[in-house]
Chains A and B, each alone.
Chain A
Amino acid sequence: MNVNWFKFASPPAFYSLAGRLIPIFWGLTLTLLVIGLYWGFFQTTDQLGGSNPQKEYYRIIFIHVSSAWMSMWLYFVMVVWAAIGLVFNTRLSFMMAKAIAPTGAVFTFLALWTGAFWGRPSWGTYWDWDPRLTSELVLFFMYIGYIALHSAIDDIRRADRASALLAIVGLVMVPVIFWSINCPDPNQCAALHQRSNLTKIDGNILFAMLTMSLAFWMYSFAATFMRLRSLILTREAESIWVRELLTQRGEQ
């Protein structure tokens, strides 16, 4: 089979492809959200744990863990697109990276926010300098830095490449930051989070959590593609195909 891998690397081709994909991803998002939330609320136990039970409020896990996973995954995806852009010099990859960043920042914020509200009833505090809290906060700063650098540079080509380099440097730093926060001193390593252990989680909870993660993932696709389409239109505003598109729309 002879596939032209670079067909959709051209903005006009991808513009129409994204337009067709967006409704599909929205549909998937809503379906998975409904299933995940229904399962999370009605098919799971009301309490967790033995001697010190987590009551109804543990259900925040379906939003919290899913958005935390998504926040890290999206940063990685963003860096991959940024690196592809730097290596192959493709315009669309940079636009992709830029389009992902706000969604990633939103999920990071959501993870921190829901975490605070989960922490209050279960740990008795909104915030603690626990390793995972701190590294998630740093991740949030890095998304903000990426967005800020991109919007500070007027020249689009330079903005794309400079923020791509920043994202890559950030990815190299992530493990270093994570481990430095995690264990500078074993005595100080009072982590409030328990170790993640997916195999021990009750099947129903795991199902709801994974469904929610998938829903968030599909949402990321939908939101990114929508942002990407408007980015393509703004950047290619001078090109012929965009003008033709606009006149077509005008006639309808």
Chain B
Amino acid sequence: MLRSFWCILTRDLTLALRRRTDVLTTLFFFVIVVSLFPLGVSTEQQILRILGPGVVWVAALLASMLALERLFAADYDDGTLEQLLLTGQPLALLVLGKITAHWLLTGLPLVLIAPLVGMQYHLTDTAIGVMMIALLIGTPILSLIGAIGAALTLGLRGGGILLSLLILPLYIPVLIYGAGAIEVSVIDLSNTQPYLTLLGAFLLVALIFAPVAAAAALRISIE
């Protein structure tokens, strides 16, 4: 069972690394969206510090959502997905493998580029540290919940916009606690713990239920 998980994971990673631009587009989308806000709102340090956490999280939400469309689409087009459904392995586990690969390619780069973005917003070092931790716990949740939406909208016309309509409302808790952790860390670092533990709890719940739901959604979409 674990081997099938690894197999999917390495396969997806290899495929993606052969076409690196896809990974980079998501990353640059994130950076561009974050860079637009100071130009549109204000370049003043005080305002940027308040704006920063929320903007980074909203940009992360949008970036991970845009990348979701590709999660199953290529496999669906060339028929690989049907083969995956037909294997004797538990589908939820295979889906989890795909989600993990997706997160490593789109979520993890956001975490790593976060310090750079934080500097654009004059965030303090501790705030940047907390932001990285919060993103590290939060972005997998986005990929997990998003996978359900991606499976439901598989192969539909206008799937991308529809996906955002379905998934963004469900992202709200992650946004609130993720941005909240960074905001609180500016005042008192010890206050961030409840935010991060709650994010961790969401991650665990999503880790258990989202792959099963996404697998059920895939079966509905393919049958």
- The answer to whether B180 has its CB under 8 Å from any CB of chain A is yes
- The answer to whether B152 has its CB under 8 Å from any CB of chain A is yes
Taking CB atoms, residues of chain B closer than 8 Å to A148 are: 162, 165-166
Q: Per-position contact with B for A153-183: 1 when CB-CB < 8 Å, else 0?
A: 1000010011001100110110011001100
Which one of A141, A169, A170 has the highest number of Cβ atoms from chain B below 10 Å of its Cβ?
Answer: A169
Question: Is there contact, CB below 8 Å, between B177 and A184?
Answer: yes
Taking CB atoms, residues of chain B closer than 8 Å to A162 are: 152, 217, 220-221
From 125 to 166 in chain B, residues with beta carbon under 8 angstroms from any chain A beta carbon are: 148-149, 152-153, 156-159, 162, 165-166
Question: Is there contact, CB below 8 Å, between B166 and A149?
Answer: yes
Partner of A177, one of B152, B153, B172: B172
Which one of B153, B157, B177 has the highest number of Cβ atoms from chain A below 10 Å of its Cβ?
Answer: B153
**Chain B binding surface SS class:** helix
Taking CB atoms, residues of chain B closer than 8 Å to A177 are: 169-170, 172-173
B217 closest partner in A (C-beta)? A165
Taking CB atoms, residues of chain A closer than 8 Å to B213 are: 165, 169
- The answer to whether A65 has its CB under 8 Å from any CB of chain B is no
Partner of A142, one of B153, B157, B169: B169
A152-B156 contact given A162-B220, A165-B213, CB 8 Å threshold: yes
Question: Is there contact, CB below 8 Å, between A144 and B217?
Answer: no
Taking CB atoms, residues of chain A closer than 8 Å to B168 are: 141
Complex Cα–Cα for A161 and B173 (A): 26
**Chain A binding surface SS class:** helix
Taking CB atoms, residues of chain A closer than 8 Å to B170 are: 169-170, 173, 177
Taking CB atoms, residues of chain A closer than 8 Å to B169 are: 138, 141-142, 145, 170, 173, 177
Taking CB atoms, residues of chain A closer than 8 Å to B28 are: none
- The answer to whether B223 has its CB under 8 Å from any CB of chain A is yes
Question: Is there contact, CB below 8 Å, between A149 and B172?
Answer: no
Contacts A180-B177, A184-B176 known; 9 new A-B pairs at CB < 8 A = A138-B169, A153-B156, A158-B223, A162-B152, A169-B213, A170-B169, A176-B202, A180-B172, A184-B195
21 contacts between A and B (CB under 8 A): A138-B172, A141-B168, A142-B169, A144-B165, A149-B162, A152-B156, A152-B162, A153-B156, A158-B220, A158-B223, A161-B220, A165-B152, A166-B166, A169-B213, A170-B170, A172-B209, A173-B169, A177-B170, A180-B172, A184-B180, A184-B195
Question: Interface of B with A (CB < 8 Å)?
Answer: 148-149, 152-153, 156-159, 162, 165-166, 168-170, 172-173, 176-177, 180, 184, 195, 202, 209, 213, 216-217, 220-221, 223
Which 7 residue pairs spanning A and B have beta carbons closest together?
A: A180-B173, A141-B169, A161-B220, A145-B166, A184-B180, A162-B152, A180-B176
